[in-house]
């Protein structure tokens, strides 16, 4: 097989792999746009409902959790674009250079003046340009474009919620577990690198830790998506309460990720030194990883409405976190090196943010309990 054929075969395999993992969005986009077209033509009776499928695709292009806002932006953008196109075409006529210039200038100016988002600005401009060049508006088509955009946005919202309509919090619970599992894995691998004095291994873990913010971003996106699903669900009161609990924890999770990244950075420095790394430090990090996993289980159980199970995991989170702090605290002696002191300090900070993430008691009392554990109490 020639090199060109090999590259072509590899490209085809990659394309097939992408389709295996991405067929759901393809099917969703196609169905939503088609259904929007059918409703606009056969139910609403619109002759050329271009904006119905266009609006559906525009809304679905946005990540879940932002689609309600995107729908509003699309509809407002179409309304503004239609208004501008109507006024300009009436004054200058359709399909002229002056009309195109005026439509673009007025639409963008209005969008900027009123602080519109980039989505609204682009939608308004494209709508006005389409109506001024392709299909000039008249007195019967002005509201039709607006209704088409509304139909497309509504269809997109319904389509995007079909798979999670009955249990909109399930994907969030899965993302919670994944986020905390990734953070715990970083701690476990750091512990192994320290136990073996493996500088290269510690650096590899640091590279992972530097990308841990992406896990927090995915957790935020999953939280927004769950909120969007609940807002479109009739029976949602208890779910919204659980969602607020998770929303309040995300900030602390973000801080814990930063703490762990600083901890791994100090661990890399510690592996460069000539002094042996205390075995107890690896044990402390492994115990802290257990606390992180328990915190993830607590949040996931809370999302699922299993309050008793969540309380048990929260208790284990506190027990493991304080045990890790006690182990690290015993290493904080007068002859401790600066990197060792930094690692033990980050164990303390991670424990505090972790306990706050699961809301284990009064926030103001958590640092006192952690400091007491560091002192051996």
3-state secondary structure of 304: coil
The tokens describing 334, both together, are: 């007068």
Q: How far is CA 246 from the centre of its chain?
A: 13
First to last CA, the chain: 70
The reported pLDDT for the residue numbered 89 is 80
Quickly count: other Cβ atoms within 10 Å of residue 211's Cβ: 11
The reported pLDDT for the residue numbered 261 is 92
Domain spans of the chain, in order of start: 23-161, 170-374
Residue for token digits 């005026």? 102
The tokens describing 140, both together, are: 């019967």
3-state secondary structure of 231: helix
Whether the Cβ atoms of residue 213 and residue 260 lie closer than 8 Å to each other: no
What is the distance between the alpha carbons of residues 275 and 284, in angstroms, rounded to a whole number?
18
Considering the four listed CATH numbers 1.10.3720.10, 3.40.250.10, 1.20.58.220, 3.40.710.10, the one that applies to the domain covering 170-374 is 1.20.58.220
Residue 124: which of 88, 82, 89 has the closest Cα?
82
Whether the Cβ atoms of residue 184 and residue 293 lie closer than 8 Å to each other: yes
The reported pLDDT for the residue numbered 338 is 82
Whether the Cβ atoms of residue 257 and residue 212 lie closer than 8 Å to each other: yes
The tokens describing 200, both together, are: 């290269």
For the whole model, what pTM was predicted? 0.64
Provide the CB-side half-sphere exposure for 99 (13 A, CA).
20
Residue for token digits 């493996």? 198
Residue 350: which of 286, 247, 257, 283 has the closest Cα?
257
What is the distance between the alpha carbons of residues 4 and 99, in angstroms, rounded to a whole number?
50
Quickly count: other Cβ atoms within 10 Å of residue 200's Cβ: 10
The reported pLDDT for the residue numbered 231 is 64
Whether the Cβ atoms of residue 153 and residue 56 lie closer than 8 Å to each other: yes
Residue 206: which of 190, 182, 218, 188 has the closest Cα?
190
The reported pLDDT for the residue numbered 336 is 67
Is 306 exposed, middle or buried, given 0-12, 13-18 or 19+ CB atoms closer than 10 A? middle
As averages over each run of 10 residues, the pLDDT of the chain (377 residues) reads 67 72 75 90 85 79 61 70 78 83 88 77 78 64 70 78 60 82 92 88 88 80 71 57 72 88 90 79 92 91 82 91 90 75 89 85 76 81
């Amino acid at each position: 097989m020639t090199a060109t054929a090999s590259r072509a075969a590899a490209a085809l395999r990659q394309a097939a792999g992408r389709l295996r993992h991405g067929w759901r969005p393809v099917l969703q986009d196609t169905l939503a746009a088609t259904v929007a077209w059918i409703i606009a033509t056969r139910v609403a009776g619109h002759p050329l409902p271009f904006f119905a499928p266009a609006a559906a695709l525009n809304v679905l292009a946005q990540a879940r959790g932002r689609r309600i806002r995107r729908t509003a932006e699309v509809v407002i953008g179409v309304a503004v674009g239609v208004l501008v196109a109507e006024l300009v075409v009436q004054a200058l006529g359709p399909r002229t250079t002056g009309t195109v210039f005026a439509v673009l200038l007025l639409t963008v100016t209005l969008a900027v003046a009123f602080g519109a988002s980039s989505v609204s600005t682009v939608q308004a401009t494209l709508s006005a340009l389409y109506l001024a060049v392709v299909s000039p508006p008249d007195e019967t088509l002005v509201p039709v474009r607006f209704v088409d955009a509304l139909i497309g946005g509504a269809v997109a919202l319904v389509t995007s919620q079909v798979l999670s309509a009955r249990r909109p919090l399930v994907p969030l619970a899965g993302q919670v577990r994944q986020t905390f599992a990734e953070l715990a894995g970083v701690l476990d691998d750091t512990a192994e690198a320290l136990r073996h004095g493996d500088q290269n291994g510690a650096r590899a873990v640091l590279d992972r830790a530097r990308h841990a913010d992406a896990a927090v971003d995915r957790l935020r996106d999953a939280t927004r998506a769950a909120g969007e699903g609940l807002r479109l669900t009739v029976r949602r009161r208890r779910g919204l309460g659980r969602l607020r609990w998770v929303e309040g924890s995300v900030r602390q999770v973000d801080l814990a990720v930063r703490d762990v990244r600083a901890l791994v950075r100090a661990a890399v420095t510690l592996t460069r030194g000539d002094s042996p790394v205390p075995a107890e430090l690896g044990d402390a990090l492994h115990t802290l990883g257990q606390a992180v996993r328990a915190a993830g289980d607590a949040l996931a159980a809370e999302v699922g409405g299993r309050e008793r199970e969540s309380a048990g995991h929260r208790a284990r989170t506190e027990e493991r976190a304080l045990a890790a702090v006690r182990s690290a605290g015993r290493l904080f002696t007068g002859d401790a090196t600066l990197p060792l002191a930094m690692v033990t300090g980050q164990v303390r900070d991670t424990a505090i943010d972790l306990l706050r993430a699961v809301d284990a008691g009064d926030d103001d009392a958590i640092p006192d309990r952690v400091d007491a554990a560091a002192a051996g109490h």
